Amino acid sequence: MLIGVPKEIKNHEYRVGLTPASVQELINRGHQVIVETNAGAGIDFSNEEYVAAGAEIIETAAEVFERAEMIVKVKEPQPQECEMLREGQLLYTYLHLAPDPKQTELLVKSGATCVAYETVTDERGGLPLLAPMSEVAGRMSIQAGAHHLEKAEGGRGVLLGGVPGVAPAKVLVIGGGVVGDNAAAMAVGMGADVTILDRSLPRLRQLDADYEGRAKCVYSTGNAIEEYALEADLVIGAVLIPGAAAPKLLTRDIISRMKKGAVVVDVAIDQGGCFETSKATTHQEPTYVVDDVVHYCVANMPGGVARTSTMALNNATLPYALALAENPKQALLSDKHLLNGLNVHKGMVTYKAVADVLGYDY
């Protein structure tokens, strides 16, 4: 199959659909890969590396879209990209169609077959192509929090791990899923005093066994959130209620009584945020202050570490890319979890939740 990788065109998006290593894997299986010039340049994957892996470099996105049978991207296609898709072509990328009627309409009109990373499932009911970005955001939340605890960043001037003779900072992680677990692992590694709150007992049991006492694992109630937040230097918001907006667990009242210069990182901001005072921010201006508490609410945290994120995403997307390139129909029909990724096919919305929300026949 001829696979095409256009350069991402969303503002400040430096990730790329395929790394040179992934290109090499596809070529080893007998496929051809065309890559738009400088598609990976922003994260130091040069044209030369793609050529060394066996790809052909193409000058324009238009030619990539015209020639390729399968397009591999990261972000949802922008209107000018949707216009270039056609029937019989396969699109493999994040789509997030439910809140995006315009994109859905354009993809339906294109007639292309569109597989969305975010709805591919796994045996355990997880979302394997979303998990790598949660791992990145979770780990990054502690790095961001530690940085903003510094005096010059508006924080209270506290070092996460303390030093011999000075107690470490207190870190509260609300939500112990993929983001929360990765945040806690970093905070524990830096020597902080860590508490994880979750309202799933099986999850708390698992975390308790994994951390062997290096993090306190506590059932999440309003009282527990208040008690631990008031003594915290850093709070990470990492809850998810699938399909729903994040609950506002940290109220303005609690925030107004937190330590002056404490930092709150709301990773759940992409679901509306789990702190009452949260509003989405960008990498250019990541923080703002409410009641002397520094808020970090960047909605696309993985974009800040685009090289790591691209490689993490490729580790998860490549096996499906290989299967799709081999035989798209067979790949989809023989794997119900990959089939869950199929959102649009030949002018039909094929993902029930999207069809229901946007009023398409299913």
| Active-site annotation, residues | 96, 270
**Which amino acid is present at 311?**
M
* Interface with ligand NAD (CB under 6 A), residue from 96, 147, 203, 248: 203
CB closer to ligand NAD out of 125 and 359: 125
> Is there binding between residue 301 and ligand NAD (CB under 6 A)?
yes
Element (H, E) at 109: helix 101-110
Q: Is 270 in the site for ligand NAD (CB under 6 A)?
A: yes
Q: Is 204 in the site for ligand NAD (CB under 6 A)?
A: no
222 binds ligand NAD (CB under 6 A): no
- How far is it, in rounded angstroms, from Cα 359 to Cα 320? 29
Token look-up 């130091």 returns 44
* Region near ligand NAD per CB under 6 A, out of 76-84, 156-164, 236-244, 318-326: 236-244
Q: Candidates 93, 113, 119, 134: give the one binding ligand NAD (CB under 6 A).
A: 134
Contact in structure between 271 and 240 (CB atoms under 8 Å): yes
Contact status, residue 62 vs residue 83, Cβ threshold 8 Å: no
Q: Which stretch binds ligand NAD (CB under 6 A): 27-35, 82-90, 206-214, 267-275?
A: 267-275
Secondary structure letter of residue 8 according to DSSP: P
305 counts as binding ligand NAD under rule CB under 6 A = no
Per CB under 6 A, the segment of 85-93, 113-121, 233-241, 338-346 that binds ligand NAD is 233-241
Residues 326-345 that bind ligand NAD (CB under 6 A): none
If residue 71 lies in a helix (H) or strand (E), which one and from where to where? strand 70-72
Report the nearest approach of ligand NAD to the CB of residue 131 (Å). Answer: 7
Q: For ligand NAD, which is the closer residue by CB, 89 or 309?
A: 309
Residue nearer to ligand NAD on the CB measure, 36 or 198 = 198
Measure the CA–CA gap between 170 and 20, rounded to whole angstroms: 41
Give me the residues paired with residue 202 across strands: none
Distances 185 to 130, 181, 295 between C-alpha atoms, Å? 19, 6, 21
Going by DSSP bridges, is the β-strand pair 32-36/56-58 parallel, antiparallel, or unpaired? parallel
Q: 196 and 173 in contact (C-beta within 8 Å)?
A: yes
Using a 10 angstrom Cβ sphere, with 0-12 exposed, 13-18 middle and 19 or more buried, the burial of residue 263 is buried
Q: Give me the residues paired with residue 237 across strands.
A: 174, 266
How many residues line the site for ligand NAD (CB under 6 A)?
32
- Tell which positions 241-260 bind ligand NAD, by CB under 6 A: 241, 246-247, 249
Output the smallest distance, CB 203 to ligand NAD, in A.
Answer: 5
Q: Tell me, what amino acid is at 245?
A: A
- Report CA dihedral (324, 327, 330, 333) to the nearest 10 degrees: 30
When binding is defined by CB under 6 A, the residue of 6, 40, 154, 177 that contacts ligand NAD is 177
Segment near ligand NAD (CB under 6 A); pick from 4-12, 92-100, 105-113, 170-178? 170-178
Given the rule CB under 6 A, which of 148-156, 300-308, 311-319, 321-329 is the region that contacts ligand NAD?
300-308
Q: Which residues here bind ligand NAD, judged by CB under 6 A?
A: 133-134, 137, 174-180, 197-200, 203, 220, 238-241, 246-247, 249, 267-271, 299-302
